[in-house]
């Protein structure tokens, strides 16, 4: 689901096709409705002007509807007339005329979309100046330095932003002028130097663009507005919208505002401020200020600024007034505000405000503080809506301390959040050996397999050259909370080194990765602690209260350590315990292979008996960790070849050096179990059909473990899940195996044990015949990873490495469907499966255990489909708890709106 608002908003009796609105118009709608029409800046300027009566320079907004019309059909015919009328009203209010050579009105032009969007067009200041009006400004102000400083700034801004000329062409002239004059800031340059700079800038424009700098103010304005509209489809803006899920069809507004001048003299200045500290959330103003400067000087980061507190002794009256404005803005918008202001000869002007961007720690503190703030009084639901999954990721995982200044060596897919630093090793045995020597390790592989599990277990982080977000490396790393970057296509991995272009990473070299951003960096990068602030517990407690009885949150956990980690993070049980992961340890894999290689019934039964012992011990530990909470155990799912050496590697070894007797048996087994498309082959319940007794052994181990827990006074709550069933007869057969094994176990214990039997719904067929399958199921769990793969016809590892990026860039897919649940076909299959299953079994419990269980947008979709719980990695539990509460709150708002509408 993307953030969208396609419906034009009518304003206080005005026609819906009107494009231009003065800041002080009678807007008569709620602020959120206004933002869809006027964008965030325009809506807030209207609120500051007409509701709060703050000192805002007059102006007008060209609506988002004009941008959409322009992008679809070109410049709207009525827009010129509306802009002319708006300019006339602005001239009357300001007592000046646009383009006048006696007392010129100058304006700023700013973009402003409904949602704050880095990547849109920058601000143009001082628009309306030309060779004639600059002299009028000299005469009117009596200050040639100020007038020509403003003109030079305007030419450079206009050339860079509107004409798309390279900034260095102008920066070089400015630096040279400052060096020759021996000054530290642009505002110290003399009138003559600024006059010369303006002439040089005009010459650069003509040379680079092939036409003179435009002298007609209305031409300047028209071109600036068109540049704003066109910037909506710029590469940066599109990339940001794709990441944030913002609809590409919304368009942006343009704000035209009368100029006030922070570069007027030493009693003037400009600043950017936040009503609270955006890094920590501390309830104290925070920001930067410059004397004798314009707004872009502060935000560009190229000049030395003063802390906001300097206003107290530079301009004490302004400082007091600004604090009053901060309080009024916070009370009105009920949020921390990001503000741009200008002081012109001691007079304070507010240029814009918007909700301020904030860190995760600040977001948590502000949300809690504002619930308790008597001037703001957020509801708990509103506070929860202010927190995002990214905020929680920031506070729960380590990050690079100096991320903004780092040069990435390469980029890949952000597979598992957090940052890690270690020495590079290229195989599991080397990684284990290095760890035993006390070295921190980053495991670097072309891709991982079960043979790499030991190396992954000891590694601080994992990097792979191939693989997608649901590849082995990604899934295991997320499950263990280890940072991982996968699919680094630039990375060539060898036996003892890797290369990115000409850069060689040798074994033992320091390497850093950020699994939240998907980047790797050469060398050891300093990490910042991800310790959670105290407010996190409060926020999550509120979230749990909201979602209680509506949407549960469980964990995907395969070991007792995973289960404990999940429980500590608030999991309400295990929604997926993958028994195959119990077979991958160095003491287990040989036993599994003995079971696969068995040539007699005795050998087969002996291997199963050995596996039963180790599985029982594993289950006892997991049930103890999750005592009194449900534990859903999925019986063996992957194809058996995954427990065998790679077929190609065995063939190479056979050709080069020959094979031992054991290797020869492994080769024969690998050939037998090899499949062209293993994801659609002999796996899941099909293994139970071909390997009789396998599932019975697992059920015995699980139920015997449960009885041992009962004997110790525990409260085991067991759910047995059959994977990949596609029909009612298939599940009925598998259920009979479970019942038969449970009867055997029950005959050895006196205490009755209650458990349930269910199945995974992973194929479109299973979803469509769910009404038949439900006759034999106590619960369903949708495996949305495989359901997505089979619905789209995508091989998930392959398409993420080759196809996904071009498809997303071309708009052929709105999201990567393995990241965000497809809300059309896949979600529809989930909804149909639930509806049909409950038609047969009204008490059918339904969850999901795919990667989507930890994605906030997917959680909202799944709640709408009717699931009872979601299950995700232990390290995504806090995010899922928050997202589940937000889904419940959104559903309440939707119901309330529908009742109000009807």
Tokens of 242: 């794709």
Give the C-alpha separation, 266 to 88, whole Å: 32
CA angle 618, 622, 625 (to 5 degrees): 145
Please tell me whether residue 372 adopts helix, strand or coil conformation.
Answer: helix
Residue carrying structure tokens 């419940």 = 888
- Is residue 472 part of the annotated active site? The answer reads yes
Cβ burial of 748 (10 Å; 0-12, 13-18, 19+) is exposed
> Residue 374: phi, psi to the nearest 5?
-65, -20
**How far, in Å, CA of 884 to CA of 542, rounded?**
11
Residues in the chain: 902
In angstroms, rounded to a whole number, what is the distance separating the alpha carbons of residues 670 and 472? 19
Cα separation of 332 and 54, whole Å?
12
Catalytic residue among 472, 641, 707, 776: 472
What the block records as the tokens of 664 is 């020869």
Quote the tokens at residue 849: 């255990």
Active site residue 815: no
C-alpha pair distances (Å), 358 with each of 279, 406, 841: 6, 21, 47
Please say whether the beta carbons of 483 and 417 come within 8 A.
Answer: yes
Closest C-alpha to 36, from 109, 111, 113: 113
Structure tokens at 422: 């270690």
**In contact, 482 and 460? CB cutoff 8 Å:** yes
Q: Which of 789, 788, 780, 782 is nearest to 849 (CA)?
A: 782
365 half-sphere exposure, CB direction, 13 A CA radius: 18
Q: Among 727, 826, 875, which residue's Cα sits nearest to residue 418?
A: 875
Active site residue: 849, 852, 865, 872, which one? 849
Q: How buried is residue 182: exposed, middle or buried, by Cβ count under 10 Å (0-12/13-18/19+)?
A: exposed
Q: What are phi and psi of 480, to 5 degrees?
A: -95, 0
Under DSSP, is residue 487 helix (H, G, I), strand (E, B) or coil? Answer: coil
Residue 291: which of 274, 308, 278 has the closest Cα? 308
How far is the C-alpha of 196 from the C-alpha of 145, rounded, in Å? 11
Cβ-Cβ contacts under 8 Å for 713 (sequence gap 6 or more): none
- 622 closest CA partner among 692, 573, 570: 573
DSSP characters over 429-468: HHHHHHHHTT--EEEEESS--GGGHHHHHH-SEEEESS--
799, 736 contact by CB (below 8 A): no
CA angle (108 as vertex; 105, 113 as ends), nearest 5: 145
Task: Give burial (CB, 10 Å; 0-12/13-18/19+) of 313.
Answer: exposed
Note whether 551 and 853 are within 8 A (CB): no
Q: Confirm if 844 and 780 have CB atoms less than 8 A apart.
A: yes
- The residues carrying an active-site annotation are 472, 849
């Amino acid at each position: 689901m993307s953030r969208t608002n396609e419906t034009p908003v009518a304003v206080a009796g005005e026609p819906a096709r009107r494009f231009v609105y003065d800041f002080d118009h009678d807007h008569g709608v709620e602020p959120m409705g206004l933002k869809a029409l006027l964008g965030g800046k325009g809506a807030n300027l209207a609120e500051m002007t007409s509701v709060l009566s703050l000192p805002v320079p007059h102006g007008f907004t060209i609506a988002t509807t004009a941008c959409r019309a322009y992008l679809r059909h070109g410049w709207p015919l009525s827009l010129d007339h509306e802009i002319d009328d708006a300019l006339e009203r602005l001239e009357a209010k300001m007592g000046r005329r646009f383009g006048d050579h006696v007392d010129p009105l100058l304006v700023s032009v700013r973009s402003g979309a409904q949602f704050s969007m880095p990547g849109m067009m920058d601000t143009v200041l001082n628009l309306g100046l030309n060779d004639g009006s600059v002299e009028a400004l000299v005469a009117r102000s009596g200050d040639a330095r100020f007038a020509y400083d403003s003109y030079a700034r305007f030419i450079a801004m206009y050339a860079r932003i509107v004409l798309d000329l390279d900034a260095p062409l102008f920066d070089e002239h400015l630096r040279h002028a400052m060096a020759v004059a021996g000054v530290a800031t642009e505002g110290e340059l003399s009138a003559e130097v600024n006059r010369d700079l303006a002439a040089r800038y005009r010459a650069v424009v003509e040379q680079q663009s092939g036409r003179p700098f435009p002298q007609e103010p209305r031409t300047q304005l028209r071109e600036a507005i068109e540049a704003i509209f066109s910037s909506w489809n710029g590469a940066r803006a599109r990339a940001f919208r794709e990441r944030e899920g913002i609809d590409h069809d919304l368009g942006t507004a343009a704000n035209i505002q009368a100029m006030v001048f922070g570069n007027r003299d030493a009693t003037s200045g400009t600043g950017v401020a936040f009503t609270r500290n955006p890094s920590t959330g501390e309830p104290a103003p925070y920001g930067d200020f410059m004397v004798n400067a314009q707004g872009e000087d502060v935000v560009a980061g190229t000049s030395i600024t003063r802390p906001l507190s300097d206003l107290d002794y530079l301009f004490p009256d302004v400082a007091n007034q600004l604090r009053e404005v901060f309080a009024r803005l916070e009370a009105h918008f009920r949020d921390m505000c990001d503000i741009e202001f200008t002081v012109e000869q001691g007079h304070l002007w507010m240029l814009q405000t918007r909700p301020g961007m904030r860190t995760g720690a600040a977001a948590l503190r502000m949300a809690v503080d504002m619930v308790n703030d008597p001037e703001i009084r957020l509801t708990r639901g509103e506070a929860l809506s202010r927190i995002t999954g990214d905020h929680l990721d920031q506070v729960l995982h380590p990050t690079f301390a100096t991320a903004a200044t780092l040069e990435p060596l390469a980029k890949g897919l952000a597979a598992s959040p957090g940052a890690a630093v270690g020495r590079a090793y290229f195989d599991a045995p080397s990684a284990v050996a290095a760890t035993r020597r006390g070295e921190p390790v980053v495991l670097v592989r072309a891709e991982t397999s079960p043979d790499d599990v030991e190396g992954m277990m000891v590694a601080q982080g994992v990097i792979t050259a191939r693989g997608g977000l649901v590849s082995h490396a990604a899934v295991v790393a997320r499950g263990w909370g280890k940072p991982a970057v996968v699919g680094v296509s630039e990375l060539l991995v060898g036996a003892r080194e890797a290369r990115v272009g000409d850069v060689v990473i040798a074994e033992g070299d320091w390497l850093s990765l950020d699994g939240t951003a998907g980047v790797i960096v050469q060398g050891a990068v300093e990490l910042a602690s991800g310790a959670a602030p105290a407010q996190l517990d409060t926020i999550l407690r509120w979230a749990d209260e909201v979602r209680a009885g509506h949407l549960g949150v469980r964990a995907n956990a395969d070991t007792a350590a995973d289960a404990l980690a999940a429980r500590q993070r608030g999991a309400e049980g295990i929604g997926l315990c993958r028994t195959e992961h119990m077979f991958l340890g160095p003491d287990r894999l040989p036993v599994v292979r003995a079971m696969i290689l068995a040539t007699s019934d005795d050998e087969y039964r002996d291997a199963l008996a050995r596996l039963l012992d180790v599985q029982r011990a594993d289950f006892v530990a997991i049930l103890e960790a999750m005592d009194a909470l449900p534990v859903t155990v999925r019986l063996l799912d992957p194809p058996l070849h995954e427990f065998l050496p790679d077929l190609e590697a065995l063939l190479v070894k056979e050709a080069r050096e020959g094979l031992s007797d054991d290797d020869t048996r492994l080769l024969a087994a690998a050939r037998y179990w090899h499949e062209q498309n293993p994801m659609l082959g002999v796996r899941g319940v099909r293994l139970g059909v071909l390997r009789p007794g396998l599932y019975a052994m697992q059920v015995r181990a699980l139920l015997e473990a449960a009885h041992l827990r009962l004997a110790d006074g525990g409260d085991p709550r067991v759910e047995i899940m059959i994977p990949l069933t596609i029909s009612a007869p298939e599940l009925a057969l598998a259920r009979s195996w479970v019942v038969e094994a449970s009867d055997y176990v029950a005959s050895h214990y006196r205490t009755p044990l209650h458990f349930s039997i269910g199945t995974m719904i992973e194929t479109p067929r299973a979803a469509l015949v769910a009404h038949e399958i439900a006759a034999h199921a106590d619960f369903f769990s949708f495996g949305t990873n495989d359901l997505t793969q089979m619905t789209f016809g995508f091989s998930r590892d392959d398409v993420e490495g080759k196809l996904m990026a071009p498809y997303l860039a071309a708009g052929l897919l709105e999201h990567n469907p393995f990241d965000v649940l497809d809300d059309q076909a896949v979600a529809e299959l989930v909804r149909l499966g639930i509806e049909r299953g409950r038609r047969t079994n009204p008490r059918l419990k339904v969850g999901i255990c795919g990667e989507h269980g930890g994605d906030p947008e997917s959680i909202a979709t799944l709640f709408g489909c009717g699931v009872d719980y979601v299950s995700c990695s232990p390290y995504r539990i806090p995010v899922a708890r928050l997202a589940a509460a937000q889904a419940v709150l959104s559903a309440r708002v939707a119901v309330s709106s529908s009742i109000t509408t009807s």
